[in-house]
């Protein structure tokens, strides 16, 4: 019997390793070393600052300087991004070691490694074969797979949350050392350093440790080690808040007011929509099964503590986002990505209790997996293909600049290009939208409450004076002997030739072919409105770069 059990574990382990490799390989087919969303800029540009300058902020150098939407002036006059620096620190490690492109692989790796952690967690409750099913179900979740490429921190939060759970469970084993406690605490304390609202996960972990001490499953020494571990990253985060925003309780959301944009009225209004989306868009079959599993965990005396932990991790953060002022939209489930594996583990545990016969378990598991694949894979493909297309365009643009534009030169372009180049970090970036204003994209409409005094002053000038002032500011920023380059579509270049001051002209250096922006999968099974699902104002553009088949031209400004 013991030999058979060992054999089954070996088979399950081999299978989950294969699953992790296949999942990572699948994600990698849609990867390109670029970022194409404002949220991604917030994290990845911060990583570049950490890697290259050892800071999470920058000072304004020119009124023409590009400032991405998520960056705002702090209490000390420097510019900080909305999101905390934890994910940026993680991204900075491969950035330092292997260059900026390596940082774009981090989310893919964390998404695939999450499958292994799910397997280890579920195995403690159900055994190896059911745990393999849980890992496979998580691998098919469309929101996780999309956001492995999106460039935000939700997948990283998921990975840390699962690791914290795994180490916490290890703390409860007889004879576990305090090293498990401090390690679990460090991971738990690091979660809010990736996203401020995820502070709501911490009370559930703290309550669970207290309950474990009371029942004798965790020593007081291990609990104190856990508390110290939690406190260390939180202390660093609060110290940075004090420096950046003038108060340890203030966050990067202080400039946008989002930290106060929650209400009971919004909770009541949004709850039905969120609950439906958890089924239709989020955790699929594992949502009702997971809820049933958590309720069963709570009912049973032997598993009540685990049920309280799962409830405490899922309920507060779900209620928080339901209470946010923003109406539920097709991307709302990204906030709850870290909870999906919890529903899955609880749901698979419930299945393991209900289905005792091996043959029935095999057939039902195969059916659940097949239905989940039919639901999850098509829903992931369209946004993944879209992100790959956009990121490959930006990769081509970057390669062209690396061929022709010396490091430290000024590059003028719009947000579609600049938010990626801000992450690359090789050039000074000037904001073309301060003079060429695409409707609904730039200027005051794009930066509400965000413009510097100099930019506001610039936008209020008459057109001719504004162009002259902007070009003068760019040349001043370039410095003596510096060069200035422009990325523009053909029609925009005509406008530039007409508007730039006398004595200045454009010299075309190269042409970058752009695809025609037919969104892949547009008529596929996911018929959600494209502009809601995908980044950018239009699925056939990268913000202000229209993918209409016309080339993007690279010019040098000469005078």
**Does any domain span residue 124?**
no
pLDDT tier at 283, thresholds 50, 70, 90: very high
**Does any domain span residue 524?**
yes
Tally of structural domains, the chain: 2
Across the chain, mean pLDDT equals: 90
For the stretch 174-183, pLDDT in tens is 667 789 999 9
**Does any domain span residue 32?**
no
Q: Where among 241, 256, 271 does a domain terminate?
A: 256
Residue at token pair 């970022």: 35
Ranges 68-72, 108-112, 514-518: which has the least confidence = 514-518
**Does any domain span residue 271?**
no
**Does any domain span residue 33?**
no
- 250/395 same-domain check: no
d(CA 92, CA 86) in angstroms, rounded, equals 10
Q: Is the pLDDT of residue 535 over 90?
A: no
Residue 272, number of CB atoms within 10 A of its CB? 11
Higher pLDDT, 447 or 268: 268
pLDDT tier at 58, thresholds 50, 70, 90: very high
Question: Does an H or E element contain 55, and which?
Answer: none
Facing residues of 57 across strands? 80
d(CA 282, CA 525) in angstroms, rounded, equals 16
Cβ atoms of residues 552 and 488 within 8 Å: yes
Q: Percentage of the chain with pLDDT > 90?
A: 76
Residue 542: which domain range? 382-558
**Does any domain span residue 125?**
no
Q: Is the pLDDT of residue 277 over 80?
A: yes
Question: Given this model, what pLDDT does residue 522 score?
Answer: 37
- 398/539 same-domain check: yes
- 386/251 same-domain check: no
**Does any domain span residue 36?**
no
Q: Is the pLDDT of residue 303 over 50?
A: yes
Structure tokens at 264: 């009971």
Residue at token pair 């195969």: 366
DSSP letters for 58-123:
E----TTB---TTEEE-TTS-EEESS-SHHHHHHHHHHHHH-HHHHTTHHHHHHHHHHHHHHHHHH
Q: Where among 206, 223, 256 does a domain terminate?
A: 256
**With 0-12 CB in 10 A as exposed, 13-18 as middle and 19+ as buried, what is 372?**
buried
Higher pLDDT, 454 or 166: 166
Question: Given this model, what pLDDT does residue 445 score?
Answer: 44
Q: Is the pLDDT of residue 477 over 90?
A: yes
For the stretch 438-473, pLDDT in tens is 544 444 444 434 566 667 778 788 888 999 999 999
Q: Where among 256, 286, 306 does a domain terminate?
A: 256
Q: Single out the residue of 461, 463, 467 nearest to residue 430, CA to CA.
A: 467
Question: Given this model, what pLDDT does residue 259 score?
Answer: 65
Cβ atoms of residues 387 and 404 within 8 Å: no
Q: What's the angle, vertex CA 124, arms to CA 122 and CA 127, rounded to 5?
A: 75
Q: Is the pLDDT of residue 523 over 50?
A: no
Q: Is the pLDDT of residue 187 over 70?
A: yes
Question: Given this model, what pLDDT does residue 437 score?
Answer: 64
**Does any domain span residue 183?**
yes
Q: Is the pLDDT of residue 374 over 70?
A: yes
Question: Given this model, what pLDDT does residue 409 score?
Answer: 98
For the stretch 14-31, pLDDT in tens is 999 999 999 999 999 999
Question: Given this model, what pLDDT does residue 4 score?
Answer: 54
| DSSP 8-state assignment for residue 460 | T
């Amino acid at each position: 019997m013991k030999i058979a059990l060992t054999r089954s574990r070996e088979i399950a382990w081999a299978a989950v390793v294969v699953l992790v490799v296949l999942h990572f390989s699948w994600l990698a087919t849609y990867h390109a070393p670029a970022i194409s969303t404002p949220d991604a800029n917030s994290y990845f540009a911060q990583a570049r600052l950490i890697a290259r300058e050892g800071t999470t902020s920058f000072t304004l150098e020119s009124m023409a300087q590009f400032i991405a939407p998520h960056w705002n002036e702090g209490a000390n006059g420097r510019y900080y991004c909305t999101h905390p620096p934890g994910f940026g620190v993680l991204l900075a490690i491969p950035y330092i070691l292997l260059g900026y492109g390596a940082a774009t692989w981090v989310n893919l790796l964390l998404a695939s490694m999450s499958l292994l952690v799910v397997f280890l967690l579920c195995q403690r409750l159900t055994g190896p074969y059911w745990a393999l099913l849980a890992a496979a179900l998580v691998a098919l979740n469309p929101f996780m797979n999309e956001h492995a490429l999106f460039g935000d921190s939700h997948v990283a939060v998921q990975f840390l949350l699962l690791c914290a759970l795994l180490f916490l469970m290890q703390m409860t084993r007889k004879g576990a050392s305090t090293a498990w406690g401090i390690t679990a605490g460090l991971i738990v304390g690091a979660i809010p350093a990736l996203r401020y609202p995820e502070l709501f996960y911490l009370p559930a972990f703290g309550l669970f440790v207290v309950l474990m001490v009371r029942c004798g499953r965790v020593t007081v020494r291990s609990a104190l080690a856990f508390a110290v571990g939690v406190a260390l990253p939180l202390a660093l985060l609060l110290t940075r808040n004090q420096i950046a925003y003038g108060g340890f309780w203030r966050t990067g959301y202080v400039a946008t007011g989002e930290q106060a944009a929650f209400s009971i009225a919004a909770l009541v209004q949004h709850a039905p929509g969120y609950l439906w989306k958890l089924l239709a868009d989020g955790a699929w079959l594992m949502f009702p099964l997971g809820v049933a599993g958590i309720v069963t965990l709570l009912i049973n005396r032997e598993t009540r503590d685990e049920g309280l932990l799962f409830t405490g991790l899922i309920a507060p953060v779900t209620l928080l986002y339901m209470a946010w002022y923003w109406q539920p939209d097709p991307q709302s489930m990204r906030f709850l990505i870290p909870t999906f594996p919890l529903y899955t583990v609880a749901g698979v545990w419930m299945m393991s209790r209900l289905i005792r016969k091996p043959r029935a378990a095999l057939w039902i598991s195969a059916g659940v997996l097949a239905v989940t694949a039919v639901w999850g894979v098509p829903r992931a493909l369209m946004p993944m293909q879209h992100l790959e297309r956009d990121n490959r365009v930006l990769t081509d643009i970057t390669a062209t600049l690396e061929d022709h534009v010396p490091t430290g030169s000024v590059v003028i372009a719009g947000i579609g290009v600049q938010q990626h180049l801000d992450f690359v970090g090789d050039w000074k970036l000037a904001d073309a939208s301060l003079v060429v204003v695409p409707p609904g994209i730039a200027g005051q409409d794009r930066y509400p409450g965000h413009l510097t005094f100099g930019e506001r002053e610039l936008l209020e000038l008459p057109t001719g004076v504004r162009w002259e002032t902007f070009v003068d500011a760019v040349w001043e920023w370039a410095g003596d002997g510096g060069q200035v380059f422009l990325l523009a579509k053909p029609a925009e270049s005509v406008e530039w030739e007409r508007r730039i001051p006398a004595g200045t002209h454009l010299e075309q250096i190269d042409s970058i072919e752009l695809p025609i922006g037919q969104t892949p999968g547009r008529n596929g099974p996911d018929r959600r409105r494209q502009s809601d699902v995908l980044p950018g104002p239009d699925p056939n553009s990268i913000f202000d770069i229209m993918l209409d088949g016309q080339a993007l031209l690279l010019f040098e400004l000469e005078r």
